[in-house]
Structure 1
Amino acid sequence: MTPETNEPPRLSGLAVFFYVFLPFALGHFLSSMLRNVNAVLAPSLVHSLALTPGELGLLTSAFFFSFALVQLPVGIALDRFGPRIVQLVLMLLGSVGVLMFARGQTFTHLLIARAVMGFGLGGCFMSAVKAISTWIAPKRLPSVHGYLIAIGGLGAATATMPVRLVLQYTDWRGLFAVLGGLTACCGLLIVLLVPLCKGNANAKAPTLQSIVDVYRHPAFRTTVSLVLVPHTVFFGIQGLWIGRWLADVARFPDSAVAYLLYLSMAAVIFGAIAVGMITEWAGRRGLLPLDVAGIGVALFVLVQVALVVSYTPSLQLLSVLFTLVGTITGIEYAIVAQTMPKELTGRAATCLNLLIFIGAFVVQAGFGQLVGLWHPDRFGHYPVLAYRVAFAALVLLQLPGLVRHFLRRRPVQCQIALLANKEDYEIGSLRSSR
């Protein structure tokens, strides 16, 4: 494999959009779609293979587990060979996993195929960020990240009602066969359209000490202590369990669940763009991105509290609010990129991805295990109490980081107030002496 070298060519903004952003965004679109498609396919999968909630959660979360395992090697490969070649190899591997899933006959077969799928699609977001950052100014990255996440939201939305419409003409196996072909075509499109990006053939694997340096850095610890657990909850629940909650707790039929999931995933598009715009707007007024994240995480936890109590007047609204407000957790990438030392940003992003996807695997699989402690009724619906307990456990996991953040902010605000009062006092004294 020949590393991609030389300086990248000068491209206009329009050329960057068509030749760089769109091809990589398409890969992220397919990755998000395949990550979330089980939320709609769950009834078909359960019927075909007689899956328990624990098995359904494990099957779906295997995608996250392989995502996590591939982060470090993908990060090294992106530095050495550039995103163009790396993404081709990964998309072809992802295509193999999708086609394996289409032909799987047992739970074990599908579990392995889902893991292979995750290995292949695990670098889509990182590759896109790596390629786009070559031509985008750092101050624009929050907005561009927001647009990229919005494309992922579009992919997640496509995994809902559009998938249900396709299932009127084929079964889930035929759907995955088509998606496997599209995944391979996306990899080829990237090679054909994307210009060569600068690579570093001398890039080496990060040492244990370099990774420890990332975790020890105060900026990294401060960010993950607030946003990491909510981020894993957002990823783990939106791709599967919010749909099962609508079916089992709200008792909506499959068609209504698909429609509400479509609205929920579409909300990610608007939420992601809004987060980038709000963060830049707040920055111009002196508010740090971490403060924006703190407010957003607090609102996200409140939505989950409403899910715990099953706020009956608007169960539909809660499913949409969960994904709309939950998009604030995507700000974690921009905060790490802006606050970490330049020599640590690449490793920090890789470590962050590793933690997020491991956490999402634990949340998605663990949620299923908790719900599976109860027995379903004769229609296959699990009781409201099972979901209340599971969501309450997630809220309890997020509260310590949120409380710590606001306790940490209080001394800083008091110090700022004291300095402001001191300055006013000194100005007043000076005027009096005149």
Structure 2
Amino acid sequence: MATPTRQPGQLGGLAMFCLVFLPFALGHYLSCLMRTVNAMLAPQLVAALGLTPGQLGLLTSAFFFAFAVVQLPVGMALDRWGPRRVQPVLLLVAALGALAFSGGRNFSELVWARAVIGFGLGGCFMSAVKAISTWIAPARLPSVHGYLIAVGGLGAASATLPVRLALHYTDWRGLFIGLGLAAAAIGLLIHLLSPAPPPTRGAPLTREAVLAVYRHPAFRETAALVLVPHTVFFGMQGLWIGRWLSDVARFSDAAVGYLLYLGMAAIIFGAIFVGMVTEWAGRRGVRPLTVAAAGIALFIAVQLGFVIGYAPSYQLLSVLFTLVGTITGIEYAIVAQSMPPALTGRAATCLNLLIFLGAFAVQAGFGQLVGCWQANLLHQYPAVAYRCGFAVLVALQLPGLLRFVWRQWRPRTPVRAGAAHGGKINLPSGSPAH
């Protein structure tokens, strides 16, 4: 069924919500749910297939690897054909991956199926942002972008207690059949409801265009500070925080589900709070990158609690990890504000590529490290394994923070054009993963 082409501004508020925001936001919701669902399913997957920590980490992180690989092709496809044509096809791929995962009989089959899911969901956030940017007035973008981030947080939260409740009526295989059907339904909804965008001529995402992003001082300065903590946040909160609560804190599956739910729900509040603090600091002349550095210092301090095994507050540590970790999403807003408008779209794509490749390495590598120790009869690994893992993560994040602090204290030099990050950020900060 052909959908008539409309121009931006021709849609009313209700039509905008029903035809643009809701269908694409549902895709982002599903992406965040399926990205983190293995944290809740880990005990069942380990019991059914006898997975080692290394295999569990590789299985779950395959999503991140495929998600990263697809970023550049999806970015080019969105510029050429628009989200209304691209996103339904990708969601159909995700549906096929979910159905394949539900029927997987061994580790290899599940890894490939999980990668197909990541491939299919790799464009959900970018498609939503592009559709919203096309049809919603610029003055309303900050608030609508914040709502989109909140929907992603709701999706991550739905991967905890709601999934645990669903497991009372089905197993993980039946759950993935339902998720596959949901992906296909959302793709059909976008195809039927979303208006055809006005014709545009997007700039090609050539090798030179990508290199221009990576060479830009603002991009490099931001990535040097925030990129590694962002990959740690994504790689850990989707799987290993839940395993730590089970293996080290020795909480029951019900308690783990509840704490994961609180942590994922904290994404919503964390994103809103980070946006408010950054805007407040900007009015007082504090650079957004300085706000990011303060947040990352606090994020590393939380991880040190895992390293030393701060037993009196295991519950608080698990929630604080996700709540404070939302500061890492500020790099999208910093890059968007600091770089020329012609580079912002491809910059987001390049940033996604680095973040999800890093999250893949963190999630898989942490599992390999924990697997160096021997599990007990309940498949639980010792606290020292997790302490060493978190110590390695802290060691990886400290150089970027110390480099930033050193650059602030050394004698000031003239700032090159395009490298300044001052001013006010209006976009609420969070993960696209979102």
Deviation string, structure 1 residues 66-85 (Cα, Å, up to 9, x no partner): 00110000000110111111
Q: Which has the larger radius of gyration?
A: 1
Shift of 1:180: 0.7
In structure 1, distance between residues paired with 2:383 and 2:250: 10
Distance change >3 Å, CA 413–CA 249, structure 1 → 2 = farther
Shift of 1:21: 1.9
Which residue is equivalent to 2:347? 348
In structure 1, distance between residues paired with 2:345 and 2:89: 21
Query: Contact conserved, 1:80 with 1:199, CA < 8 A, in 2?
Result: no
Distance change >3 Å, CA 298–CA 137, structure 1 → 2 = farther
Shift of 1:23: 1.5
Unaligned runs of 5+ in 2: 416-434
Amino acid at match of 2:32: S
Task: Judge which range, 4-13 or 141-150, deviates more.
Answer: 4-13
Question: Which residues of 2 match residues 58-207 of structure 1 at below 5 A?
Answer: 58-136=58-136, 141=141, 143-200=143-200, 203=202, 205-207=204-206
Aligned residue for 1:400, secondary structure, equals helix
Aligned residue for 1:286, secondary structure, equals coil
Which residue is equivalent to 1:242? 241
In structure 2, distance between residues paired with 1:332 and 1:225: 10
Unaligned runs of 5+ in 1: 417-434
Which residue is equivalent to 1:8? 8
Amino acid at match of 1:278: V
Shift of 1:310: 1.2
Shift of 1:48: 0.7
Query: Contact conserved, 1:8 with 1:195, CA < 8 A, in 2?
Result: no
Shift of 1:3: 12
**TM-score, normalising length from structure 1?**
0.91
Aligned residue for 2:284, secondary structure, equals coil
Distance change >3 Å, CA 81–CA 412, structure 1 → 2 = farther
In structure 1, distance between residues paired with 2:95 and 2:414: 55
Question: Which residues of 2 match residues 10-409 of structure 1 at below 5 A?
Answer: 10-136=10-136, 141=141, 143-200=143-200, 203=202, 205-409=204-408
Query: Contact conserved, 1:79 with 1:203, CA < 8 A, in 2?
Result: yes
In structure 1, distance between residues paired with 2:408 and 2:29: 37
Which residue is equivalent to 1:430? none
Question: Which residues of 2 match residues 409-424 of structure 1 at below 5 A?
Answer: 409-411=408-410
In structure 2, distance between residues paired with 1:89 and 1:326: 32
Shift of 1:4: 10
Deviation string, structure 1 residues 266-292 (Cα, Å, up to 9, x no partner): 111111122222222322333222122
Shift of 1:373: 0.4
Distance change >3 Å, CA 415–CA 80, structure 1 → 2 = closer
In structure 1, distance between residues paired with 2:411 and 2:139: 25
In structure 2, distance between residues paired with 1:275 and 1:12: 30
Amino acid at match of 2:241: I
Shift of 1:346: 1.4
Amino acid at match of 1:315: Y
Task: Judge which range, 399-408 or 87-96, deviates more.
Answer: 399-408
Query: Contact conserved, 2:3 with 2:195, CA < 8 A, in 1?
Result: no
In structure 1, distance between residues paired with 2:93 and 2:204: 22
Distance change >3 Å, CA 14–CA 367, structure 1 → 2 = same
Query: Contact conserved, 2:222 with 2:335, CA < 8 A, in 1?
Result: yes
Query: Contact conserved, 1:146 with 1:275, CA < 8 A, in 2?
Result: no
Higher helix share: 1
In structure 2, distance between residues paired with 1:317 and 1:394: 19
Query: Contact conserved, 1:81 with 1:199, CA < 8 A, in 2?
Result: no
In structure 1, distance between residues paired with 2:301 and 2:141: 29
Which residue is equivalent to 2:431? none
- Between the two proteins, the alignment pairs up a number of residues equal to 414
In structure 2, distance between residues paired with 1:289 and 1:138: 21
Deviation string, structure 1 residues 110-148 (Cα, Å, up to 9, x no partner): 111101100100010111111112244657655544332
Which residue is equivalent to 2:422? none
Aligned residue for 1:134, secondary structure, equals helix
Amino acid at match of 1:244: R
Query: Contact conserved, 1:82 with 1:199, CA < 8 A, in 2?
Result: no
Amino acid at match of 1:183: A
Deviation string, structure 1 residues 339-387 (Cα, Å, up to 9, x no partner): 1111111111111000000000000000000000000112211011100
In structure 1, distance between residues paired with 2:273 and 2:135: 23
**TM-score, normalising length from structure 2?**
0.91
Deviation string, structure 1 residues 32-78 (Cα, Å, up to 9, x no partner): 10010000100100111110000000000000000011000000011
Percent of aligned pairs with the same residue? 68
Query: Contact conserved, 2:5 with 2:195, CA < 8 A, in 1?
Result: no
In structure 2, distance between residues paired with 1:227 and 1:206: 24
Shift of 1:335: 1.1
Aligned residue for 2:134, secondary structure, equals coil
Which residue is equivalent to 1:422? none
Amino acid at match of 2:111: L
Distance change >3 Å, CA 3–CA 119, structure 1 → 2 = farther
Query: Contact conserved, 1:49 with 1:107, CA < 8 A, in 2?
Result: yes
Shift of 1:9: 4.4
In structure 2, distance between residues paired with 1:149 and 1:250: 30
Deviation string, structure 1 residues 79-104 (Cα, Å, up to 9, x no partner): 01111111111111111111111111
Shift of 1:18: 3.2
Query: Contact conserved, 2:9 with 2:136, CA < 8 A, in 1?
Result: no
In structure 2, distance between residues paired with 1:14 and 1:170: 37
Query: Contact conserved, 2:63 with 2:117, CA < 8 A, in 1?
Result: yes
